[in-house]
DNA sequence: CTGATATTTCGATAGAAATGGAAATGAGGA
DNA sequence: TCCTCATTTCCATTTCTATCGAAATATCAG
């Protein structure tokens, strides 16, 4: 994770619909969710949703996979963990007095 | 942490200079850093820096305290932890199969 | 091939955010 | 009080972003 990638990821998340979308996928887990289904759940037009999915994808926060006629989206947990780690990097001077390395945040890792 | 607050916080971090600024303060720890000193470190004009500090402050990610003629800024670790927790909330369906509650990310908490 | 379904691309409009110099504000020292 | 230092506010300009209907693309079933 570098500054540029982190800014891109944070910008992708810094929008009402995209944040809801990402959390929806985080909570959906391995199973993921089809694009159309997320549009239903969030109540926004398909074209808007597609735009937001593209942003999250470009930021590396989600992955897509075609399944029959649908495209299934999944959260990329590794990317999320990397972003969180970047924010907390060397917290309080990085002398280890603050957070033990073992407590580094990680989901599904 | 709610969606609105999270979007505000993420938007505050989704900018090259503000992200660098926030990480600088995270790494500075309890001691914090004066506004002018952060401008020096980041090499940006005071007026720009002040704008960015205000954004982070409005988002609740940093705190300020006057000390003599300077204003010392500090990262708000609790806010950061709250934001991270919000992103990971109910990860993978929230059945606990993914992240044990004890591994919830936390810095200085 | 034809029709149906799922998703993305296009395009125009409207709104929000970053920038930095100059001036204003606020606090402390002599 | 007067001066200096630290920080913020103001302002105009420029650039980036969200929105969503309509049309285009892609996959599959029959």
What's the first-to-final CA gap in chain A, in angstroms?
A: 16
Q: How far apart are CA B105 and CA B94, in angstroms?
A: 15
Tokens of A107: 């989901």
B-contacting residues in A 33-62 (Cβ below 8 Å): none
Nearest-by-Cβ selection for A7 from B16, B84, B94: B16
- Strand C lies under 7 A from the Cβ of residue B17: yes
What is the structure's pLDDT at A108? 76
* DSSP code per residue over B72-91: EEEE-HHHHHHHHHHHHTTG
Q: What is the mean pLDDT of chain A?
A: 92
Calculate how close chain B gets to A42, using CA atoms only, in Å: 13
Tell me the CA distances in angstroms from A93 to A99, A100, B16, B26, one per residue in order: 11, 13, 21, 8
| CA-based nearest distance A4→chain B, Å | 7
DSSP state of B68: T
Q: How many CB pairs under 8 A join A and B?
A: 125
Integer Cα distance of B37 and B43 in angstroms: 10
- B95 pLDDT more than 90: no
The backbone torsions φ and ψ at residue A57, rounded to the nearest 5 degrees and listed phi first, read: -65, -45
Reported as a single tens digit per residue, the pLDDT across A25-62 is: 999 999 999 999 999 999 999 999 999 999 999 999 99
HSE-up (13 A, CA, CB side) for residue B94: 10
Cβ contact, residue pair B92, A6, below 8 Å: no
The predicted structure's pLDDT at residue A10 = 98
Q: pLDDT band for B103, please (50, 70, 90 cuts).
A: low
Please report the pLDDT score of residue A98 as a whole number: 74
Judge whether residue B74 contacts strand C, using its CB and a 7 Å cut-off. no
* A105 vs B88 pLDDT, higher one: B88
CA of B46 to C1' of C24 (A): 15
Q: Among A49-63, A93-107, B16-30, B77-91, which is the least confidently predicted range?
A: A93-107
Q: Which nucleotides of D are covered by protein (CB under 7 A)?
A: 5-10, 17-23, 26-29
Residues of B in contact with A78 (CB under 8 A): none
Q: Which residue, among A1, A14, A75, would best test binding to B if mutated, counting the most B CBs under 10 Å from its CB?
A: A14
């Amino acid at each position: 994770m570098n500054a540029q990638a982190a800014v891109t990821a944070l910008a992708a998340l810094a929008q009402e619909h995209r944040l809801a979308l990402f959390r929806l996928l985080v909570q959906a887990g391995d199973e993921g969710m089809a694009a159309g289904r997320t549009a239903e759940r969030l109540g926004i037009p398909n074209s808007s949703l597609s735009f937001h999915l593209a942003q999250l994808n470009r930021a590396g926060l989600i992955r897509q996979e075609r399944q029959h006629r649908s495209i299934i989206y999944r959260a990329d947990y590794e990317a999320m963990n990397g972003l969180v780690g970047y924010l907390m990097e060397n917290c309080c001077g990085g002398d280890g007095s603050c957070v033990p390395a073992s407590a580094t945040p990680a989901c599904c890792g």
